[in-house]
Amino acid sequence: MGFRCGIVGLPNVGKSTLFNALTETQAAQAANYPFCTIEPNVGQVGVPDPRLDKLAAIAGSAKIIPTQLSFVDIAGLVRGASKGEGLGNQFLGNIREVDAIVHVLRCFVNDDIQHVDNKIDPVSDAETVETELMLSDLESLEKRVPAAQKKAAQGDKEAKLMAGVLGRALDLLRDGKPARLARPDDEEELRVFDQAQLLTAKPVLYVCNVEEESAASGNAFTEAVFAKAKAEGANAVIVSAAIESELVGMEPDERIVFLEEMGLSETGLARVIRSGYDLLHLITFFTVGPKEARAWTVHKGAKAPEAAGEIHSDMQRGFIRAETIAYEDYVALGGETAAKDAGKLRQEGKEYLVADGDVMHFKFNV
């Protein structure tokens, strides 16, 4: 299972440039005018994970297959999108289809690149986009909540649940706050909340797009964005789309040298992915053998049969048990055989909660 992140922001903040760099393609036309991205471009990238390379080296795997991440480059938003201004309806529809929002904010000054508001203020830019999303959710819930309350008064249990869950979200939106702050812990309430597909319920990662000189330490603009993210429990990272563009096409050794010269220890892609994983509560497990070493993704809290289902639905349906070795034990002991001899290979059943880094082999019967 990969996950799908929608790259959003105002026009000319560097969305398409970042998308091109992250996916190492030129699929999205990066141009200095609004709406250059008319249809959402989707790029698949492998999630870099040094653990996978170590496992493959120990097992002598012929192939290495990372788990996949999808980036969707969505057209720039302008004020009035919630009422259909610009490409508003399409923009909002495209956001509804992603798992998380990667909100690119312009944190650099460049007189050659036009800004729709003729000023550089990333916090204001973030609020512009979020306001349009909140207005869209508000319009939706102001119709749905009264209808649910009416049915609830007639004794409809599902409607009563919906009225309570969505009513709390509506109160937040009326107070100028995103619906994600009303995300419930209760399983049944969460089901209703997720089914509502509210735009402001999606987790947000702020990506501060800076000039090359600020890539390592940030600047005054990024400080303001990080303060906003902290206040609302969101994540933020600093990326230079210009640097990421230069990295495209470089050999691995060249990349390392280039990054070191810029005062960086990793690419922007690595930072975005790590934050994205944290944002969506995802973990990685591995399958390792002589033919291939492969990474798979599940949500935290997934049980062994769900992990098996990521490989094939038959494995989940006929699940018997999972032979499991912790990543640290596999590496420290030098592989499956040594781990088994040391008593580190565990037989786990249907209730086992998958841990990040587990090396797993599934027994099943269909």
Which residues contribute to the annotated binding site for ATP?
12-17
Residues 6+ apart with CB under 8 A from 18: 7, 104, 207, 209, 239, 241, 244, 268
Taking residue 352's Cβ as centre, other Cβ atoms within 10 Å add up to: 19
Binding-site annotation: residue ranges = 12-17
Kind and range of the H or E element at 22?
helix 15-23
The residues with which 65 forms a beta bridge, in sequence order, are: 294
CB under 8 A, 24+ apart: contacts of 183-192 = 188/161, 189/161, 189/164, 189/165, 192/158, 192/161, 192/162, 192/165, 192/166
Encoded amino acid at 91, one letter: F
Pair 116, 13: CB distance under 8 Å: no
Note whether 18 and 246 are within 8 A (CB): no
- On whether the CB atoms of residues 46 and 67 are closer than 8 A, the answer is yes
